[in-house]
Each structure stands twice: as structure tokens, then as C-alpha cells.
A and B are shown apart, each in its own frame.
Chain A
């Protein structure tokens, strides 16, 4: 078992002790990353509730773009399997979706189910010059571009310009899919894209499908919902979960000097944010480099070192992944459990001396 405190190798017991004392004296601790299996995400919310921490995820920019639009206009969505099986027309919005494995499946196959079975699949593109049959560079940005397509689909704009042709192709499709990356498109763009799907669905079938996503955000959203009734960015400082996407943005909190301890959870590898090294921090990471944080505890990667429930991207569901190469590394959930136990058996945090 590997652990490091301030760069020096130590055993896990000492590291857990050091992590517990760091978190115990913190005024406003943050648990961030949450790129982990469901058991560890649950354990992280449990710990946050016990120590009054706030929670943020590794991919929250994309997650909140998605949730913000969903909360306002709802969503017409499909799954990767449905898109591969049924879509005869795919509009790729932006550059990011072209990098995903799903794109290769869509390019290499034809629809096999439904009304479009046997026909060819056409690819259209907005905002990125890729190998599509129709590509529109969209100089005004993606949100405006999707708005223009929607205006054509509504009949408010007319003509045979490129966006007009793209809107006409989507309207003539049997099963259209609008592919996008939430972090790239943003909340306003997603809202506009949902509007386009709804517009087209007046006469044919058209659905949106989000690609990408960082870490295990898609697992965190349902787990946070069933544990707190809210979206991921919640804080427990006042004992009840408060949801505030602005206040509990970990990067903002660190920049504003509001945080005095961070626990970074990334047992499913994800890029470490730059701000992590600027605050006293504990990192629970698989394949951990000892420099990522003040205290680093190596944990098993779910699905490799031990089994765990993770987001399954191709199936768009939470599924159990057995260990592919079992090791004796502890799970992140067990370390978080040990921290919770250590922090709740001690004296409750006393009120500090007068604050100012």
C-alpha cells in the first residue's frame, strides 16, 4: 500500500491520520473530483455530510451546462445504441464529438433497426471542418449557429444557404441525432439544441445525444440526487445539503481563498486541476504521483484493482465492472470510510475563537 505525506513515502495509517487532522481543523473543506465508483461517491457524500464539506466534481462545467438546460426546457435524448442502430442523419455540433469512440461506430456502420434500417447514414457538421457531407463553419459561435438552424427549422429563415440545407436534411431524416459535447456547447447552446430537436420532432423524429464528459460525473448526478435530492455541487456547512452551483464551484472557492482543505477523489484517473497544489490537500488517486497533493494515498482503480459500479458510456447506464487485474490496493470507499470513522469518533469541531 503506498502513501505519501509532503512528498515522503509512508504507510497508509499515518497518511489517513494526517488527512484526518487536516480535515478536522478545516473551516470550509471541499471534497472535489468525485471521479470514482458509486461506493466511493456515496462514501464521499457521507464524509461531506459529517464534516460540513462542500462537494464538486471533475467535469462539473459540462455537467452543469447539461443540467441547467434540462431544468429549463427538458430534453429529447437518445442513447449511443439507439443512435448507432437507427439514425440515418447525424448532426455533429462542434469539434469535440469527432474525437469520441462513438463517432467511429457511427461512421463505420449503417442503421439496422427501425424505419431507416438498411439506408445510408449521412453526417452533417456545424462548427468543425470534418469529413461530413455538409459542413458549416459557423463563424458566430456554436450557440448562434444552432439558433440559425432552429430558425430555418421553424420557417423563420428561408433560403438555400448552408444552414438552410442542413435544416432541410434534418427535417427529411427518418431518425435524426444531434451529437454534442456539453462543456463545448454550453448551457445556452444546449437549450437551443433541445429547441431544435423539439422543432424537428413536430414532423419527424430527432433526438440529442451528449458525448464526452470528464471523470464519473454521469454516475455522480444520480448518486447525488438519491443521497441529497440535489445536483452534485452541494455544501453541508449548515448541516443540511444546500445546492448552489456558483458558491460551491471548487475552482472559484480556491481562487477566492474560501477553502482551507481539499480532498481530491480520483480513483478513476482524471486530470488534476492546477489549483490543487495551491491549497492544503489530500488526494485519493490510482497510479498516484506523490506530488499531486500534500497527502497522497494510492487507492485501487475500480474495474481494474477491485470491482465497482461505474458509468458505462456505450450502454448509457451504471454497471458493475469486475476487477480485471485484482490487487490488494484499498478501495477509495474504504479509505473514505476510515476517515469518516476517525473524524466522527473524535470531539465534534468546536466553535473557533471569535471570527473577527
Chain B
């Protein structure tokens, strides 16, 4: 297991796009320490901020995170990254495979555009987790995002595929959703605003927008299949589907093929 140990708080935002098990496996200790990770004109090299220890394994542990570590695990295609501590924006952005775990909190845009693999945030996530960055067509696009704590506003904004499981989330959860599945124990106001397709499973919610209409209680086979799928990720979320459910259809401002299931 390769390890990076943070020695002191980074003096500037660091970009970890190129720091992953595959990229480090072909490098010597010295080469890895000289990798440029800074983002200002002064710059920072990996070895200036971290103690580096490499063994060519497909697992990388970053001990001591910081909210200035951007793009940790971005574009990861295989292997495992585990961060003990916080990370900055775009955790696992564009990730295609592998596994990424953060024990602390993540900044905004976690798992944006991720097409595969599993991203787990044991603390809280910032705004737009599983959401789209500026000018991107989609947010989460096939990966699995698990947030044990609370996510910010716009969770799963424009997500197109994949699954998001969150303990709680702020306003506009699942806004402008294109497709996919989002489950949360509680969300803020106006979930699903502007959603086209997709499924939200909610334990509780704030104000429901007037462009969602209640379509009654249903007992669908699909819900039992969904419960089975969710049970592996979070039994608590799967349990939501065991309760009586109200279904809302919307957003009527769009093609209105989205649905919100609310546990009674």
C-alpha cells in the first residue's frame, strides 16, 4: 500500500488529478516527490507537502486530508484511494472505475461526471455533490456516490445515470435531473426542481414545488428490486421502501417523467 502523509497545511490549493495508484506505480520515490501539484505561479511539489512512500500497489492512502486538496481521485480508472481527512472540490470527478473513500468532508462537485466506480464520503459533502460543473452536460453519470453525512444544495444536479445515497441533503436535491436514482433520508425545499426523468426516494422533504403532482400510493415490483439494490449500499435507505410510499410525478415544467417517492 502506497502512502502519502500530509506534513503541514498546503499553502495553496493542490490539484491531485495526476496522483493515483496507476500513475504512481511507474515512478521512483524521487520522481513522485517532484510531481507538480500546486496551482499558483509559485507552485508546490508533492514531496514538499507530503511524505511519500511507494510500493507499486494498486491502493493509495492519503493520511491527513485538507479542504485544499482538489480533484482527488479524478479520472480514476482502477485501484483504490483512501483519504483520512477532508478533501476539496471535484472529488472523483470524471472517475471511471475503482474505489474512493474519504473519511472526512468533501468540497463541492464531488463525483461530478463520474461514469463508474464507487465514491464514499463518510462526512458531509458540499453543494452540487453528484452535480454538474459549469458548462458540463451531466453530473453523476453512472458511478455510485454514498454520502453518510449531509450533502449541500443541488445534490445530483443534472445527474444522468448511477445512484446517489445521502444521509440528508439541502435544497434542490435532484434538480434538473436527467435520469438516475437518488435516495436520501431527508432533503430541503423543492426537491427535483426541473427534473426530466429519474427517481428520488425521500424520507422527508421541505416545500414540494407546485409542478409536482401526487399520483397516489403504489405497490410496484420495481420498488422491491430497488430496495434490494439499495440494501447493499445502505440498509437504512432500503428500509424507506418498506414503508407506505406516496408518489409524486414531475417536474411538469419539463417532460415530467421523473418521480419522487416519499416514505410516510
- Checking B41, B68, B135, B253 against A192 with a beta-carbon cut-off of 8 angstroms, the contacting residue is B253
**Distance of A236 Cα from B135 Cα, bound (Å):** 20
Minimum CB–CB distance for B123 against chain A, Å: 18
Contact A258/B134 with A51-B41, A140-B207, A192-B253 known, Cβ cut-off 8 Å = no
Minimum CB–CB distance for B194 against chain A, Å: 6
Minimum CB–CB distance for B173 against chain A, Å: 13
Whether A144 pairs with B210 at a CB distance below 8 angstroms is yes
Q: Say if the beta carbon of B180 comes within 8 Å of chain A.
A: no
Whether B193 pairs with A143 at a CB distance below 8 angstroms is yes
Contact A147/B193 with A27-B12, A154-B252, A246-B89 known, Cβ cut-off 8 Å = yes
Whether B40 pairs with A52 at a CB distance below 8 angstroms is yes
**Distance of A243 Cα from B136 Cα, bound (Å):** 13
Q: Say if the beta carbon of B48 comes within 8 Å of chain A.
A: yes
Whether A356 pairs with B7 at a CB distance below 8 angstroms is yes
Minimum CB–CB distance for A350 against chain B, Å: 9
Q: Say if the beta carbon of B235 comes within 8 Å of chain A.
A: no
Whether B253 pairs with A246 at a CB distance below 8 angstroms is no
Q: Say if the beta carbon of B108 comes within 8 Å of chain A.
A: yes
Whether B41 pairs with A147 at a CB distance below 8 angstroms is no
Contact A247/B49 with A188-B176, A349-B42 known, Cβ cut-off 8 Å = no
Whether A238 pairs with B211 at a CB distance below 8 angstroms is no
Minimum CB–CB distance for A311 against chain B, Å: 22
**Distance of A334 Cα from B256 Cα, bound (Å):** 55
Whether B194 pairs with A192 at a CB distance below 8 angstroms is yes
**Distance of A351 Cα from B34 Cα, bound (Å):** 14
Minimum CB–CB distance for B51 against chain A, Å: 11
Interface size on A, residues (CB 8 A): 44
**Distance of A80 Cα from B134 Cα, bound (Å):** 28
Whether B42 pairs with A154 at a CB distance below 8 angstroms is no
Contact A140/B40 with A195-B254, A355-B49 known, Cβ cut-off 8 Å = no
Could you say which of B10, B41, B44, B49 has the most chain A C-beta atoms within 10 Å of its C-beta? B41
Query: A147's closest neighbor in chain B, by CB?
Result: B253
Overall SS of chain B's interface: loop
Contact A188/B49 with A151-B253, A245-B134, A356-B7 known, Cβ cut-off 8 Å = no
**Distance of A107 Cα from B190 Cα, bound (Å):** 34
Query: A238's closest neighbor in chain B, by CB?
Result: B39
- Checking B8, B11, B43, B176 against A351 with a beta-carbon cut-off of 8 angstroms, the contacting residue is B43
Whether A356 pairs with B41 at a CB distance below 8 angstroms is no
Which residues of the other chain, B, contact A150 by a CB distance below 8 angstroms? 253-254
Q: Say if the beta carbon of A9 comes within 8 Å of chain B.
A: no
Q: Say if the beta carbon of A345 comes within 8 Å of chain B.
A: no
Whether B11 pairs with A246 at a CB distance below 8 angstroms is no
Whether B194 pairs with A148 at a CB distance below 8 angstroms is no
Q: Say if the beta carbon of B247 comes within 8 Å of chain A.
A: no
Whether A148 pairs with B253 at a CB distance below 8 angstroms is yes
- Mask, A5-27, CB within 8 Å of B = 1, is 00000000000000000000001
Q: Say if the beta carbon of B209 comes within 8 Å of chain A.
A: yes
Query: A150's closest neighbor in chain B, by CB?
Result: B253
Could you say which of B9, B190, B252 has the most chain A C-beta atoms within 10 Å of its C-beta? B252
Contact A151/B211 with A237-B40, A246-B108 known, Cβ cut-off 8 Å = yes
Q: Say if the beta carbon of A235 comes within 8 Å of chain B.
A: yes
Whether A247 pairs with B193 at a CB distance below 8 angstroms is no
Q: Say if the beta carbon of B259 comes within 8 Å of chain A.
A: no
Whether A356 pairs with B11 at a CB distance below 8 angstroms is yes
Whether A356 pairs with B194 at a CB distance below 8 angstroms is no
Which residues of the other chain, A, contact B254 by a CB distance below 8 angstroms? 150, 195
- Checking B11, B42, B172 against A188 with a beta-carbon cut-off of 8 angstroms, the contacting residue is B172
In chain B, positions 168-210 with a C-beta closer than 8 Å to chain A are 172, 175-176, 190, 193-194, 207, 209-210
Q: Say if the beta carbon of A104 comes within 8 Å of chain B.
A: no
Minimum CB–CB distance for B124 against chain A, Å: 17
Q: Say if the beta carbon of B70 comes within 8 Å of chain A.
A: yes
Further contacts, 17 of them, CB under 8 A, given A150-B254, A151-B211, A356-B11 = A52-B40, A140-B210, A141-B190, A144-B209, A146-B253, A147-B194, A147-B251, A147-B253, A154-B253, A156-B253, A191-B176, A195-B254, A231-B134, A349-B42, A351-B42, A355-B44, A356-B9
Q: List 20 A-B contacts (CB under 8 A).
A: A27-B11, A72-B158, A143-B193, A144-B211, A147-B194, A151-B252, A157-B211, A157-B252, A244-B134, A245-B134, A246-B108, A247-B13, A247-B70, A349-B41, A355-B10, A355-B42, A355-B48, A355-B49, A356-B11, A356-B48
- The 8 A-B residue pairs whose C-beta atoms are closest, nearest first, are A52-B41, A356-B8, A147-B253, A151-B252, A71-B135, A156-B252, A150-B253, A237-B40
Residues of B within 8 A of A (CB): 7-13, 38-44, 48-49, 67-68, 70, 89, 108-109, 133-135, 137, 158, 172, 175-176, 190, 193-194, 207, 209-211, 251-254, 256
